[in-house]
Structures are given as structure tokens and as C-alpha cells.
Amino acid sequence: MVSRVESVEELVSRAVDTFRQRYGQTPTTAVCGPGRVNLIGEHTDYNEGFVFPMALPMVTVVVGRKTDSGVCRVTTTSPDADDPKEVEFPVPSSADPLRPGTPAWANYVKGVVANFKDEVCSFDAVLASSVPLGGGLSSSASLEVATYTFLEQLSPQNPPVTLKEKALACQKAEHQFPGMPCGIMDQFISVMGREGHALLLDCRSMAAELVPLDNPDVVVLVTNSNVRHELTGSEYPTRRRQCEEAARILGKKSLREATMDDLEAHKAQLDPEVLCRARHVIGEIRRTTEAASALQARDYAKFGQLMVESHNSL
């Protein structure tokens, strides 16, 4: 069944209504951060490889206003978020820093507040999102980036942080508060994504290149398997450790530096599953750069072939 995606305007309207009901005022600020889908480049970001995501029209919206209460109050409208749907916490200080806790969804907000590159004012805020939680479309990064953008609007920084600094602050927030050792892809595409483009990101140098994806005859179909995706409780951390183990045995800083010949020479030392993980990453890094070149050349058949190879490799 095809699902209709709420527009940004509809999300803002819904969030504003909730804000008025909950806080008795009208919000002064509204921002959003997009979700993403990764076209190709799976499990390569934390191996210093290449990824090739695109931002989605599905977004997380934050509406709110600055207060002088010294307390940050946040409400989520997501029915899939864990309870309670409202939290409050004091503006952090060196004497009283923020700490992770429950509900889990609030840790993404707290982590960004704790890693904001300037003083944070107290605020009231409401969250609304069209990015499905646990759908593998990075609802977490969209929430982090929207929260950081919200704080930027409440407390403008002079000079403003760069897009790279903003993405890295959001990544650090996810490492520290939800405790998810994610790579840099999700936050970078949520910050740097542009309509009608995919983003080729070098996860070692952090250089990013927008690649046009604007052919009206080409559609990216995103399907929902209805299998809930939770990185903190999934095989992701295990897979990351396996890749790090493979790089160590191969004598490389990361699998970005390894070749298939290196893998063949050391395969007797590798656990079969670790060998499989490393083989995928080494091949996937090559496939990702080839896919970007194919898209630039509008060779969609080649691009599709590489996507199939990527899926089979996993």
C-alpha cells in the first residue's frame, strides 16, 4: 500500500496546534531536518569509505519559542515514541550537565543540547515527524539536525558553525546520549542534502559532492518492510566491531585501505563471518564510487546493477 507523506506545512500546522494546546502560546520558530535513504554504500561510513545517500521529503519538524524559565520542555507528537511524550530538563551547565535517561526519544534532543556550540537558552518545543521511527530512514539524524537548527534560530551563533561542524556535533550527540556508535553519513546528508541531488560523501576526508538526480523519468522507490529498525539494539555495533577486527588483522587503519588481495592473503586468520563482512565493505567502497560515476553519466542500468550487487553482498 502506498502511504501519503505529510507535507512540511501540514507537519508544522499540526505541531503548532499541539504547542498552543500544551503551552498556551504560539511558537515563534519552526525548522525541519530531512530523513534519508542510502542509495548505495552500506556499512562503509564507519570504515572510512564512500556513501551515496539522498535526502527525503520526509522530515522532522520542531516548533517552539525561547523562554526565561531556565527549563527546556519538549513534547513529541509521534505515537511510536516511547512514553512519556513530554519531558523537561534544566538548561545544562558545567555544574549540572545533561545525562541520558528515559524516555529514549528525548536522548536525541538532550544530546544535541549538550553538544550545541554556544550557550543554550531555555525553551518550549513540540516535535512532529513524517520520518517513520525504526524504518531505516534515519529518523534519529533528522531529529538531531532539526533540534540543532532550532537552537541556532533561538541563539544565533557568531560566527555560525559550518555545515560540517553541525553534522559532527549531531553525530557526537548520538554517540554520547543514545549510545549509538554511528558513522557520519546520516547527519551529513540531513545537513547537506539538496532537492534533486544525491550526495557522494568521502567518510575519510569528509569531502562531499552533490550529484544531480533530476531526471523526471527516474523514480527512487522507498518501501517499508515493516520490520522495526533499532540501531542501538541491532547487529550494527557487532558488525562495526567485526570490521575493526578485520582491519586490525590486515594491518590497516581501516578497511578503506584494504584490497581484495589483502583479504585473500589473510583469510586463514579471519573468522568466516568477519571475512564476509570485510569482503562486503571492500567491494562496496568500489561499487559506491562506480555508482556515482554511473549516475553522473545517466547510465541508470549500470547504477541499478550496482545496487543489486550491493544488496546481494550484504
Helices 300-313, 272-296: inter-axial angle, 10-degree rounding = 170
DSSP notation for 160-225: PPPHHHHHHHHHHHHHHTT-----SHHHHHHHH--TTEEEEEETTT--EEEEE---TT--------
Pairing mode of beta strands 123-129, 71-76: parallel
Tell me how far apart the alpha carbons of residues 160 and 171 are, in angstroms, rounded to a whole number: 18
Tell me how far apart the alpha carbons of residues 126 and 61 are, in angstroms, rounded to a whole number: 8
Q: Output the nine-digit C-alpha cell for 284.
A: 562496496
Of residues 80, 186, 214, 217, which has the active-site annotation? 186
Tell me how far apart the alpha carbons of residues 218 and 215 are, in angstroms, rounded to a whole number: 6
Tell me how far apart the alpha carbons of residues 87 and 68 are, in angstroms, rounded to a whole number: 17
Cβ 281 vs Cβ 314: under 8 Å: no
Query: Is 217 part of the annotated catalytic residue set?
Result: no
Q: For residue 231, give the H/E element and its range.
A: none
Tell me how far apart the alpha carbons of residues 126 and 62 are, in angstroms, rounded to a whole number: 6
Q: Output the nine-digit C-alpha cell for 239.
A: 558488525
- The number of beta carbons lying within 10 Å of the beta carbon of residue 66 is 14
Tell me how far apart the alpha carbons of residues 60 and 140 are, in angstroms, rounded to a whole number: 9
Tell me how far apart the alpha carbons of residues 36 and 136 are, in angstroms, rounded to a whole number: 9
**Residues designated catalytic:** 186
